[in-house]
Amino acid sequence: MAKMRVVDAIVLILEKEDATEAFGLPGAAINPLYSAMQRRGTIRHTLARHVEGASHMADGYSRATGKIGLCLGTSGPAGTDMITGLYAAIADSIPMLCITGQAPTDKLHKEDFQAVDIESIAKPVTKYAVTILEPGLVPGTFAKAFQIMRSARPGPVLLDLPINVQMATIEFDIDAYEPLTPDKPAATRGQAEKVLDLLVASKHPMIIAGGGIINANASDKLVELAELLNIPVSPTLMGWGTIPDDHRLQSGMVGIQTHTRYGNVSFLASDFVLGLGNRWANRHTGGLDTYRKGRTFVHIDIEGTQIGRVFSPDLGIISDAGAAIDQLLAAARDRQAAGTLPDYSVWAGQCTARKGTLHRKTNFENVPIKPQRVYQEMNAAFGKDTTYVSTIGLSQIAGAQMLHVYGPRQWINAGQAGPLGWTGPAALGVVRGKPNSTVVALSGDYDFQFMIEELAVGAQFKLPYIHVVVNNSYLGLIRQSQRPFEMDFHVSLGFENINSPETNGYGVDHVKVAEGLGCKAVRVEDPSKLAEGFAQAGKLAAEFQVPVVVEVILERVTNIAMGAELDAVNEFEDLADAAADAPTALTPLKATRELHAGASV
């Protein structure tokens, strides 16, 4: 045992828990911890410009690596700034540790400067939040925090450290400290047999692959299971990449916003659905009557309160996704050896065939540029190893409909919370976690403007990535959602910029702003120049090791396909396999087409 400051013990614990990537801002109430980090030199720290930005960086790092990112801040507003980041993390089951400084324990009840009850504020958006009031409680509380973050459904934790607790001295021996084993429920062989009994009784089975598979690092096992059973797999938005988009059994994403046409059609033709590590999110299911009709459902999830939360499945099993797949593989192999697995090759082939026909048109030549063309060019410009980062808006929805992802942790998306401004700082965290990788962020102009100051972090710390900003100078998704109200109200971002007349009424000059923050930028206004713009951005990022913004000037109004039901998705643009003057004739997809003529409503 040795006497040491609490903060020196904390740094040793973080090392042993393999949490050594930190994002944050120092301040008076957290400076003791920063002093320990400086002395030890084992925790890399990235200085953010806003604590919310730091929380999104830690989140992005955690999503990209599967490790636990750290977000550090002082007392008071630093903690409250972290709340949006904590919400984004818990909504998508992401482990992340936020550490805040706090006023001395004897001042907590005296309305001291920047003393706020961050424990109470953070509890609804964390798995565990606590103000540590005694120095001797620190090692055990940190051990418990890491166990909680990693157990069952993963999620974030906030630990609040009064400054006098940080500065206290305790007896501590890091060699006697051991990380606690996470609690992860595991399916049994008997449960796996029951799943297969239901599956083999069906004619058109399908797997819905959720983010729980990525959290379990079980994507390869999922592909093995799908190939063994020879049945289609549809990834959710959070599970995108569990099976490569170009795999013959990847049947397309299902949903009322982020989806593919062929994915919805194949799902509607299914009669059995195995949900693995998914939430049955409402933008995945749409109306439950349509979603559930004529199908048997099995739901396997690590969090017991998810089973039956949205609807009651025919069979529910509480299990880590990887553990469940292991049991399913073992049971399926035995059935294969016994010759009792059905042949689903015709059904699988039908789903594969749809991928070649049911597409939306992307090859538009219009100026200003239609957004669909942007994603077509992104698919051509960026390789299979690309990691995409996005969060919310028409840009994210259209991107999920048209981009391609080929591996786990290559689609980084704040799916449930969808906070504007998340994309940029999250991308910086991803770059920290995936150095020397191609990282491409995708934002609309409003998302991009929310935390645009964090670009300076990328310039200062040499964190290169490409940020594609599709600029229609509109709150595009909000404008589209205002259509039923027959209004276009306070959703335009356009104005005549007296300092940049070349923006032609689109307002903010993103190129100048990016350059002023130490980054590089390219503006593209002609669809035929998109490939050149993306190539130039890649060269600039490699040469200068800074973020590079590719601003694409879009037509101001484009409605993106979405709806309320899987069988009634509204199509607003031409479809690739249908003439422009003819209605679509898809069965069972009953899509309507509204070819807009430039009207905003």
Query: What integer pLDDT is reported at residue 488 of this predicted model?
Result: 81
Phi/psi at 53 (nearest 5 deg)? -60, -40
Q: Where in the chain is the domain with CATH 3.40.50.1220?
A: 189-354
Q: What is the pLDDT of residue 601?
A: 22
Question: Is the pLDDT score of 93 beyond 90?
Answer: yes
Distances (CA, A) of 67 to 38, 61, 152, 217, 425: 22, 8, 15, 12, 17
C-alpha span between 249 and 212 (Å, rounded): 19
CA angle, 24 as apex, 23 and 28 as ends, to 5°? 150
Predicted pLDDT of residue 495: 81
Is 80 exceeded by the pLDDT of residue 585? no
Rounded to whole angstroms, the Cα distance separating 411 from 469 reads 17
- Between residues 297 and 392, the one the model is more confident about: 297
Tell me if the bond preceding 235 is cis, omega within 30° of 0. Answer: no
pLDDT in tens, 130-165: 999 999 999 999 999 999 999 999 999 999 999 999
pLDDT of res. 115: 82
In this prediction, residues 219-246 reach a mean pLDDT of 97
| CA distance readout (Å), 296 to 195, 275, 349 | 11, 11, 21
Q: Please provide residue 201's backbone torsions phi and psi, each rounded to the nearest 5 degrees.
A: -80, -5
What is the number of alpha carbons within 13 Å of residue 165 lying toward its C-beta?
A: 25
Give yes or no for residue 589 having a pLDDT over 50: no
What is the tens place of the pLDDT at every residue in 53-64?
A: 999 999 999 999
199-217 mean pLDDT: 97
Residue 444 pLDDT > 70: yes
Q: What average pLDDT does the segment 515-519 reach?
A: 98
Query: 417 and 96 in contact (C-beta within 8 Å)?
Result: no
Distance CA(211)–CA(417), nearest Å, equals 15
Mean pLDDT of 89-93: 96
Inter-residue contact 33 to 7 (CB < 8 Å)? yes
Q: What number is the average pLDDT over the span 300-304? A: 96
Helix axes 138-150 and 6-16, enclosed angle (nearest 10): 30
Q: Topology of domain 371-553, per CATH?
A: Rossmann fold (3.40.50)
Whole-number pLDDT of residue 415: 87
Q: Which of 93-102, 443-452, 477-486, 552-561 has the lowest mean pLDDT?
A: 477-486
Among the residue ranges 34-43, 221-230, 352-361, the one predicted with the least confidence is 352-361
More confident residue, 510 or 589: 510
Cis bond upstream, residue 588 (ω within 30) = yes
3-class secondary structure per residue, 246-290: CCCCECCCCCCCCCCHHHHHHHHCCCEEEEECCCCCHHHHCCHHH
The answer for residues whose C-beta is within 8 angstroms of residue 124's C-beta and 6 or more apart is: none
Identify the H or E element spanning 160. strand 157-162
pLDDT score for 476 = 67
Q: Crossing angle, helix 371-381 and helix 394-402, to 10 degrees?
A: 50
Contact 154, 94 (CB under 8 A): yes
- For residue 399, what is the enclosing H or E element? helix 394-402
Average pLDDT over residues 100-109: 90
Distance CA(317)–CA(296), nearest Å, equals: 14
pLDDT tens, 539-582?
999 999 999 999 999 998 888 889 999 999 999 877 875 433 32
pLDDT tier at 99 (50, 70, 90 boundaries)? very high
Give the pLDDT mean for 344-372.
93
Buried b (16+ CB within 10 A) or exposed e, 24-40: bbbbebbbbbbbbbeee
Give the pLDDT confidence score for residue 577 in this predicted structure.
53
pLDDT score recorded for residue 35 = 98
pLDDT, mean of residues 528-542? 97
Q: What is the dihedral of CA 475, 478, 483, 485, to 10 degrees?
A: -120
**Residue predicted with more confidence, 474 or 552:** 552
pLDDT at 426 over 80: yes
Q: Tokens 């070649």 map to which residue?
A: 356
Q: Which CATH class is domain 2-176?
A: alpha beta
Its pTM stands at: 0.93
Question: What DSSP character marks residue 114?
Answer: T
Mean pLDDT of the chain: 92
- Residue 430: enclosing H or E segment and its boundaries? helix 423-433
pLDDT value for 249: 97
Cβ–Cβ under 8 Å, residues 457 and 466: no
CATH architecture of the domain 189-354 equals 3-Layer(aba) Sandwich (3.40)
pLDDT of residue 332 exceeding 90, the answer is: yes
SS3 477: helix
Q: CATH 3.40.50.970 occupies which residues in the chain?
A: 2-176, 371-553
